Amino acid sequence: MPIITDARVIITCPGRNFVTLKITCDDGTTGVGDATLNGRELAVAAYLSEHVVPCLIGRDAHRIEDVWQYLYKGAYWRRGPVTMTAIAAVDVALWDVKGKLAGLPVYQLLGGASREACMVYAHANGTTIEDTINVALAERDRGYKAIRLQCGVPGLASTYGVAKPGQRYEPADAALPSESVWSTEKYLRVVPELFAAAREALGPDVHLLHDVHHRLTPIEAGRLGRDLEPYRPFWIEDPTPAENQDAFRLIRQHTTTPVAVGEVFNSIWDCKALIENQLIDYVRATIVHAGGITHLRRVAALADLYQVRTGCHGATDLSPVTMAAALHFGLSIPNFGVQEHMPHTAETDAVFPHSYRFEQGMMHPGDAPGLGVDVDEQLAAGYEYKRAYLPVNRLEDGTLWSW
């Protein structure tokens, strides 16, 4: 049996911060897991190096479920984004090791392929509706069948999801949280106009998505969902903060627009009521923040009972290790919906060489044994960690609001 002899936390910043756990076994087999929590990277790095790694040395790397239970129940303090991201990193690295030792890609260990490839969605954002539509047309021409639309709000200097002019979109943009002013009224006026223009320009077949990003109250979300119905959105995402899962009943009472939620979830308990009461249509919990492949399989299995599909988070602050793991996971489960795809920069791709590929709006993890991704430690060492925070929102009267 493969014994864990080393586990290293690798922090690198090729344009943005990533934290990676690399596990090595006594026969030299290695596995990698993403441990990146945007804006709180060092919290997870310390949790791993100070509290998890000492418990891993000497363990049987094949015993993935036992290690998961040991780290989850053994910590006593259960759940939370830091803990579950750390557990996820160990879990994914052990699935990588197991695949390499079996000579099989991880999706084959998860039951094999349930589809030829995974449909992915692109991001189209712009300061104006016109700019956003132009980007969406270009992404459609690249082959994407699904496109997320985010545009600026007239009267607001900046808003979630829209890059600064001429820059790549990277929300963690400052050594202290930058502050944006938010107006729900101004926002609710522009999104239906955006969707009307997008449906007109892109035609009936392209799936159109939108990320509300937790910024509406439940009734406002119901209003937005109803206003967008003529344009048939694929989903509205994070329509309202999801701590109160019951609040989603109010959205369901007012609209048939599909709802996606969960990128900030870190365990099945965050979405159990939403799924069992059919209050959502897609669950966005991810491998890196919700306890790894082992736990997300449980979320997907519960969701499948209620015809809820996956729509995993896949922003650039999730490393290529998570992208690879998400594609193995998405290829294998029966209720895959769609996978978010924000291509990383060439710098990041060089640090994380991988075998997943994009073709005509679909992605496949490749058939390399394990995850088919690694971290180039020499390259990684050349990019020093740089503290960066996500922004905060304030209403026009100064009230702190969801960003």
Ligand X SMILES: O=C(O)[C@@H](O)[C@@H](O)[C@H](O)[C@H](O)CO
Catalytic-role residue among 123, 207, 210, 213? 213
Q: In angstroms, what CA-CA distances link 83 with 21, 46, 75, 87, 327?
A: 14, 11, 9, 6, 23
The DSSP output letter for 20 is E
**Packing angle, helices 292-305 and 81-102, rounded to 10:** 100
Going by C-alpha positions, the residue among 80, 48, 96, 64 that lies closest to residue 325 is 96
Q: Which is nearer to Mg ion, 18 or 265 (CB)?
A: 265
CA angle 322, 38, 397 (to 5 degrees): 140
Taking residues 359 to 398 in sequence order and writing x for each that binds ligand X by CB under 6 A, - otherwise, the string is: -------------------------------x--------
Segment contacting ligand X by CB under 6 A, of 55-63, 313-321, 325-333, 358-366: 313-321
One of 91, 96, 227, 340 touching ligand X (CB under 6 A): 340
One of 20, 24, 38, 150 touching ligand X (CB under 6 A): 38
Q: Which is nearer to ligand X, 71 or 264 (CB)?
A: 264
Whether 207 is a known active-site residue: answer no
Whether 70 is a known active-site residue: answer no
Which of Mg ion, ligand X, none binds 390 (CB below 5-8 Å, type-dependent)? ligand X
Work out how close the CB of 343 gets to Mg ion at its nearest, in angstroms, rounded to a whole number.
17
How many residues bind Mg ion (CB under 5 A)? The answer is 2
CB atoms within 10 A of CB 379: 15
Segment contacting Mg ion by CB under 5 A, of 84-92, 211-219, 343-351, 389-397: 211-219
Contacts of 181 (CB under 8 A, 6+ apart): 156, 157, 393, 394, 395, 396
Distance between CA atoms of residues 133 and 194, nearest Å: 8
Tell me the two tokens of residue 293. Answer: 């492949």
Q: Can residue 213 be called a binding residue for ligand X (CB under 6 A)? A: yes
Q: Can residue 270 be called a binding residue for ligand X (CB under 6 A)? A: no
Q: In angstroms, what CA-CA distances link 339 with 96, 242, 306?
A: 20, 21, 19
Work out how close the CB of 185 gets to ligand X at its nearest, in angstroms, rounded to a whole number.
22
User: Coil, strand, or helix at residue 119?
Assistant: strand
End-to-end CA distance of the chain: 47
Distance between CA atoms of residues 270 and 24, nearest Å: 33
Q: Which is nearer to ligand X, 368 or 388 (CB)?
A: 388
Residue carrying the six token digits 């060439």? 346
Q: Which is nearer to Mg ion, 261 or 380 (CB)?
A: 261
Work out how close the CB of 38 gets to ligand X at its nearest, in angstroms, rounded to a whole number.
3
Taking residues 256 to 285 in sequence order and writing x for each that binds Mg ion by CB under 5 A, - otherwise, the string is: -------x----------------------
Q: Are 35 and 48 in contact (CB under 8 A)?
A: yes
Residue carrying the six token digits 């627009």? 257
Q: Which is nearer to ligand X, 122 or 308 (CB)?
A: 122
Q: Which is nearer to ligand X, 340 or 374 (CB)?
A: 340
Catalytic-role residue among 107, 121, 144, 160? 160
Which of ligand X, Mg ion, none binds 340 (CB below 5-8 Å, type-dependent)? ligand X
The DSSP output letter for 50 is I
Q: Can residue 211 be called a binding residue for Mg ion (CB under 5 A)? A: yes
Q: Can residue 317 be called a binding residue for Mg ion (CB under 5 A)? A: no
Q: Are 78 and 270 in contact (CB under 8 A)?
A: no
Q: Can residue 145 be called a binding residue for ligand X (CB under 6 A)? A: no
User: Active-site residue numbers?
Assistant: 160, 213
Residues forming contacts to ligand X in the complex (CB under 6 A) are 38, 171, 211, 213, 263, 313, 315, 317, 340, 390
